[in-house]
Amino acid sequence: MKLLDGGRAPNPRRVRIFMAEKGIEIPLEQVDITKAEHKTEEFTALNPVQRIPVLILDDGTAIGEVSAICRYFEETRPEPPLLGVDALDKATVDMWNSRLQMHLLIPVAQVFRHAHPAMAEMEKPQIAEWSEANRPRVMEALRWLNDRLSKSAFVAGDRFSIADITAMVAIDFLKPARLAVPEDHTALLAWYDKVRARPSYKA
């Protein structure tokens, strides 16, 4: 088994943190997207949507998409559970993780990709107005995330889960997007200090 990985990009990092929380160690193989290594014929045969990360099983089966890779790990290495433990908990974890992906991580990515000069080659066309349109969406998401964390130890409840991983990676992605958590979002900032202290944060 090995992971086709991609350094600092948010999606590979989500999987690496998930693996670190479960104590899963497998070889990481770097795919350099700045050299368009994810657009080669060989890579496209593994993943038609040309995205990293991709998990390669021992028989050569390729699994793409963060949620699918994490699902595979959760099923084959259940402890500690990161996708919830019963019907309601699993649904709650999925709800917060989906919300954070759709309404925080993706909007932050849009702000970044459609405005940052370093993305001019990767994101064509870059549309400055679309970057701008996503800024208020990010700030709105930070508001409800702060509200949630003022009532809950972790994003999806009392236990660290994949929703915290998506949230921490999204928060780290604010900086290259030239955004920041407002100082009065004290619950969010306290949670961030807490999750950043976990060993998995460095993954």
| Residues that bind a second copy in the complex, under the rule CB under 8 A | 48-49, 57, 61, 63-69, 71-72, 75-76, 86-88, 90-92, 94-95, 98-99, 102-103, 125, 127, 129-130, 133, 141, 144, 147-148
CA of 5: how far to CAs of 159, 194, 200, in Å?
Answer: 27, 26, 16
* Residue closer to a second copy, measured from CB, 16 or 148: 148
* Residue closer to a second copy, measured from CB, 143 or 175: 143
| Paired sense of beta strands 62-64 and 54-56, if any | antiparallel
Longest dimension (CA), the chain: 51
User: At its nearest, how many Å lie between a second copy and the CB of residue 71?
Assistant: 5
Q: Which of 82, 35, 74, 34 is nearest to 55 (CA)?
A: 74
User: At its nearest, how many Å lie between a second copy and the CB of residue 199?
Assistant: 26
Q: Which of 174, 154, 171, 172 is nearest to 163 (CA)?
A: 154
* Residue closer to a second copy, measured from CB, 45 or 197: 45
User: At its nearest, how many Å lie between a second copy and the CB of residue 189?
Assistant: 19
User: At its nearest, how many Å lie between a second copy and the CB of residue 74?
Assistant: 9
| 139 token code pair | 């700030």
